[in-house]
């Protein structure tokens, strides 16, 4: 397998996951807005690191709707959903010969669908339906990858990209939301706002999961534990970094070599695996997550220099 | 317009008293057409378009401004040939490509054919496609044109002509394979009624051909496909063939040369490459040897070729064998190298660099087809009978300015096949491009790519000029026919 193939599949995984996470996040935010809580738009902007852009849209009289357009359909925003899908599709198109027809067709179908939706009149564009499509099709694409791809190096690079992106996404959501809702960093400062905290869980689609696991009222410390440390929650930071480590080990076995990326992946996984939520709040959640996110960024760079030759 | 064309379905004269106008190979298709409702046909055509888009089987015509991914129109009425028709073409194609390969080996070697006075040396040395660096190489098997696309036209029951030879990087074979997949899916009932010879083994034959021309005696030489990248109009085909063969699809940046060997970059480290099936033009292959501004090639590639460390398929400099002025010498090549009479005829061709021909051409422009010697894709040509006086006049000026750049041929009444058009089924002109594989042996999958001019009366079948494609069916020999 070529290095350029590894690189394309890694980025295909990242972009697809980015589109999927953004779709889910916006959906949760919109539902929250319908229940008329304040600050949702500011919160979303913060998650995407775009507070300045958001302030500008506010000065222009725009609010949540224009921010959402920026995140969903704006082709000039490289991280928007449509840009991410286009990028993933372009990566996949370059690797037509390294992915299955099922994976390619489901991704290409989504790209074609977005294209035809965007060509229609913007005033009548059904953003909700578009977001719903992205969520559904992304599941189809990852599902097709799961059941049809040969378990070779190419597959592991796709998985690496998707799980690194997802780990970073969840870490960012928890970081920003806690900062907004608990600026002092104390999870037990006052009575938790049910709507606000269920929205946090909804960002990773884990409201019902919370009930199944804890069978109790929403408690910010438990929300953090679920999203960061629970290994059995597929979008938790821990689960994703576990998967990253697993795929790194498969690659190391295949290649018979190990490097800094392998060490860092193992260290990150172990850090999440042995952490306890009360200890994390003692040192400060923001500090802990900041460290994890910095290391995820470093890991991505290390993977680049170790395998992808960029 | 030219005389009434031979229609491959309806120009039959068999049956009791010569009354059956449907030619034998088309009986199944004619029955199917009579049975199938227009609604079913419309629905099927729509399905075809969806299938091609979803698969991303696209073709970017040069000059398309928006949406550079277009699909080539596919016509669902197959073009059918009987076994004996194909058998005849097959023999002629093998003969012609063997002669072309002998000529290329000679042109870049001793040039016996020039010394024998058959082909003037200037025809080779003064040719813009001649690559001096490719001289004196002993290529494995002596093969230069490993993949050849020979464009054939038909004008009568037994009259076929070679329109042109393509021995550089002929494309279109992916459509042969995909068209067949589509037909099997959409019209299984038609298929099961007729015994159609399969084409799906093309990729396997191609891989075997590529492996057979490695310099190394490795049992499984590493073959890669070199593409200019995903912005190239034929990128789909490159990815398709690499996938079918299970080989790596490389761009220039994926390969490098170290100490005279070619390697590909992988996460495991460098891996040696033995054969490169390149879909990149000669000029862009190696910035050290050819165009220095090329980002599509691999620096040092030609050095590795000359050192016998990597083979490049098709060979460099094949353009000297397939331009439209060399074309006129091919029948002589067949006699010279093989000592045989040509099975397939050339179209009579006037070369404008010959004074007599030049005079004749200018006097008869309204009835001729005039082409650039190095032109391709249906561009830079004049179809006299369908052109206006003004168009003919301005083209005459071009010919006068550079006579050596043009050849002319009579306007052939290309055969027609029934084709779905807006108003129903109507005859449209077709040609045929079979793909001839030459390695240690010569292989041709039955049939090839049928291109169809969708515009009424048009003789230009190129996809960049509004042409479409059809599935081409060669029927298995009838039991007892001895075929």
ipTM: 0.73
Task: Tell me, yes or no, if B70 comes closer than 8 A to chain A by beta carbon.
Answer: no
Write out the two tokens for B307.
């050192």
Instruction: Say what the pTM is.
Output: 0.84
Q: What are the chain B neighbours of A112 within 8 Å (beta carbons)?
A: 53-54
Averaged pLDDT for residues B223-229: 95
Strand partners, A241: none
Let me know if B158 is exposed, middle or buried by CB neighbors in 10 A (0-12, 13-18, 19+): exposed
Report the residue of chain A nearest B251, measured CA to CA.
A4
Dist. CA B162–CA B202, nearest whole Å: 22
A104–B56: do the CB atoms touch at under 8 Å?
yes
**A42-67 tens-digit pLDDT:** 667 777 777 776 666 666 655 677 77
- A97, A98, A309: residue with CB nearest B265: A309
Tell me how far apart the alpha carbons of residues B479 and A159 are, in angstroms, rounded to a whole number.
55
- Chain A hits for B249, CB-CB cut-off 8 Å, are 95-98
Closest CA of chain B from A255, distance in Å: 6
pLDDT over 60 (residue B480): no
B455 touches chain A (CB under 8 A): no
- Tell me, what's the pLDDT at B380? 79
Contacts of B242 in chain A (CB under 8 A): 97
> Which residue did the predictor score with more confidence, B460 or A85?
A85
Token readout for A258 is 């190990």
Searching chain B, which residue's CA lies closest to the CA of residue A113?
B54
Residues 25-64 of B with CB under 8 A from A: 53-56
Pick from B287, B260, B288: nearest CA to B272:
B260
Are B267 and A1 within 8 A, CB to CB? yes
Instruction: Give residue B335's pLDDT.
Output: 97
pLDDT in tens, A227-247: 999 999 999 999 999 999 999
Residue in B51, B55, B56 to test binding to A, most A beta-carbons within 10 Å: B56
CA distances from B128 to A277, B89, B123, B124, B330 (A): 74, 31, 10, 9, 19
Q: Is residue A115 predicted with pLDDT exceeding 50?
A: yes
Closest approach of B306 to chain A, Cα-based (Å): 25
Asked if the Cβ–Cβ distance from B254 to A3 is below 8 Å, we say yes
pLDDT surpassing 70 at residue B15: no
Q: What is the pLDDT of residue B119?
A: 96
- On the question of pLDDT at B350 being above 50, the answer is yes
Contact status, residue B25 vs residue B80, Cβ threshold 8 Å: yes
Question: Nearest-CA distance from B27 to chain A in Å?
Answer: 36
Residue of B nearest to A96 (CA): B239
């Amino acid at each position: 397998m070529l290095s350029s193939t590894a690189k394309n599949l890694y980025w295909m995984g990242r972009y697809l996951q980015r589109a999927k996470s953004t779709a889910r996040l916006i959906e949760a935010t919109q539902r929250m807005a319908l229940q008329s809580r304040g600050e949702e738009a500011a919160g979303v902007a913060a998650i995407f690191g775009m507070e300045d852009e958001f302030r500008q849209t506010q000065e222009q009289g725009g609010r949540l709707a224009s921010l959402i357009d920026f995140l969903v359909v704006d082709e000039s925003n490289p991280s928007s959903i449509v840009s991410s899908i286009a990028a993933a599709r372009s990566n996949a198109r370059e690797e037509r010969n390294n992915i299955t027809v099922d994976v390619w067709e489901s991704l290409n179908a989504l790209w074609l669908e977005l294209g035809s939706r965007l060509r229609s009149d913007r005033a009548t564009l059904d953003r909700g339906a578009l977001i719903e499509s992205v969520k559904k099709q992304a599941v189809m694409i990852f599902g097709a990858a799961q059941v049809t791809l040969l378990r070779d190096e190419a597959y592991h690079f796709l998985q690496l990209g998707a799980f690194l992106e997802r780990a970073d996404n969840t870490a960012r959501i928890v970081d920003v939301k806690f900062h907004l809702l608990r600026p002092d960093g104390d999870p037990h400062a006052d009575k938790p706002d049910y709507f606000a905290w269920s929205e946090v869980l909804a960002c990773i689609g884990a409201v019902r999961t919370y009930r199944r696991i804890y069978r109790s009222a929403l408690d910010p410390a438990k929300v953090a534990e679920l999203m960061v440390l629970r290994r059995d929650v597929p979008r938790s930071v821990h689960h994703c970094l576990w998967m990253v480590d697993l795929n790194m080990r498969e690659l190391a076995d295949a290649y018979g070599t190990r490097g800094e990326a392998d060490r860092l992946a193992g260290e990150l996984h172990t850090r999440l695996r042995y952490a306890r939520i009360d200890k994390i709040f003692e040192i400060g959640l923001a500090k802990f997550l900041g460290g994890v996110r910095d290391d995820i960024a470093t890991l991505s760079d290390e993977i680049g220099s170790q395998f992808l030759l960029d | 317009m030219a005389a009434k064309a031979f229609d491959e379905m309806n120009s039959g004269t068999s049956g009791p008293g010569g009354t059956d106008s449907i030619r034998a190979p088309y009986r199944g298709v004619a029955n199917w057409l009579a049975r199938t409702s227009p609604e079913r046909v419309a629905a099927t055509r729509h399905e075809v378009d969806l299938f091609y888009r979803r698969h991303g089987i696209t073709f970017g015509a040069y000059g398309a401004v928006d949406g550079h991914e277009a699909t080539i129109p596919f016509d669902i009425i197959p073009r059918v040939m009987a076994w004996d028709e194909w058998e005849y073409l097959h023999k002629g194609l093998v003969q012609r490509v063997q002669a072309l390969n002998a000529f290329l080996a000679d042109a870049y070697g001793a040039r016996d054919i020039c010394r024998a006075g058959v082909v003037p040396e200037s025809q080779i040395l003064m040719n813009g496609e001649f690559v001096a660096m490719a001289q004196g190489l002993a290529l494995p098997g002596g093969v230069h044109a490993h993949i050849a696309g020979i464009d054939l036209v038909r004008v009568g029951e037994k009259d076929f002509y070679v329109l042109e030879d393509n021995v550089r990087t002929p494309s279109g074979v992916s459509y042969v394979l995909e068209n067949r997949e589509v037909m099997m899916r959409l019209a299984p009932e038609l298929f099961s009624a007729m015994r159609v010879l399969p084409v799906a083994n093309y990729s396997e034959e191609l891989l075997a051909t590529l492996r057979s021309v490695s310099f190394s005696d490795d049992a499984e030489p590493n073959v890669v496909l070199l593409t200019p990248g995903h912005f190239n109009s034929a990128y789909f085909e490159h990815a398709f063939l690499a996938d079918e063969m299970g080989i790596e699809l490389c761009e220039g940046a994926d390969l490098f040369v170290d100490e005279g060997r070619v390697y590909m970059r992988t996460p495991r480290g460098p891996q040696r490459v033995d054969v490169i099936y390149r879909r990149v033009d000669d000029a862009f292959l190696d910035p050290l040897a050819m165009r220095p501004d090329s980002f599509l090639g691999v620096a040092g590639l030609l050095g590795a070729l000359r050192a016998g460390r990597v083979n490049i398929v098709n060979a460099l400099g094949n353009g000297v064998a397939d331009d439209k002025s060399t074309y006129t010498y091919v029948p002589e090549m067949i006699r010279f190298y093989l000592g045989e009479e040509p099975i397939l005829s050339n179209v009579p061709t006037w070369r404008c660099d010959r004074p007599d021909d030049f005079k004749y051409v200018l006097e008869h422009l309204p009835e001729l087809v005039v082409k650039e010697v190095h032109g391709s894709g249906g561009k830079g040509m004049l179809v006299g009978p369908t052109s206006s006086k003004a168009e003919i006049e301005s083209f005459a000026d071009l010919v006068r300015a550079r006579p050596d750049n043009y050849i002319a041929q009579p306007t052939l009444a290309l055969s027609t096949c029934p084709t779905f058009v807006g108003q129903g089924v109507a005859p449209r002109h077709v040609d045929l491009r079979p793909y001839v594989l030459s390695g240690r042996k010569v292989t041709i999958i039955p049939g090839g790519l049928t291109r169809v001019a969708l515009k009424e009366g048009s003789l230009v079948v190129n996809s960049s000029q509004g042409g479409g494609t059809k599935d081409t069916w060669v029927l298995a020999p009838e039991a007892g026919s001895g075929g």
